Amino acid sequence: MDRKILVTYASKYGATAEIAEKIGEVLRHAGLQADVLPIDGIRDLNSYQAVILGCAVYIGSWPKEAAAFLQANEKTLADRPFWLFSSGPTGEGDAAELVNGWRMPSALKPVIDRIQPRDVAVFHGHINPGKINFMEKWAIKSIVKKPFGDFRDWDAIVAWTNTIADALKVTEPAH
């Protein structure tokens, strides 16, 4: 039986979903089976060998459904290879530096520490001013002071995903 990888995501305006789709594409290109699904649609993790979760970052937080998913599936996620990524910071430079080393919401750190993900990555994000409301635009300009635009580094995303594919191929049973 071939085992699949789940790439799931919590995305408000679609930029994190696009990163998740790219990760699924890279995994499939590496010869692995991958389902890419929104976090809201996940009911059962038993058919998945590994899980990758991507979360959009909004004002230092992840969407509520991501927190609920981690808490509801903590034991199952701890029993299989698990990776996390956040998508959000915009601007030039290192994504982790743009968020001052922030990697996850502090309220979720105990749960994530118990799950022990293989890696937690932070990728540049995309803020499309045409998709956000007036209050969000004001907060981004005035409070967060981040530039609008697409700053996603697709090469970094592909490279990160290739390390995951390599790790999973090592653990795959021989046919």
CATH number, position 156: 3.40.50.360
Instruction: Give per-residue pLDDT as tens, 78-118.
Output: 999 999 999 977 777 777 776 766 678 788 899 999 999 99
Q: How big is the chain, counted in residues? A: 175
135 backbone φψ class: left, alpha, beta (φ>0; ψ -120 to 50): alpha
Question: What CA–CA distance (Å, rounded) separates 34 from 24?
Answer: 6
Output the pLDDT for position 1. 37
Question: What CA–CA distance (Å, rounded) separates 28 from 149?
Answer: 29
Instruction: Give per-residue pLDDT as tens, 56-75.
Output: 887 678 889 999 999 999 99
pLDDT at 172 over 70: no
Domain ranges, residue 16: 4-171
Structural domain total, the chain: 1
**Predicted TM-score (pTM) of this structure:** 0.87
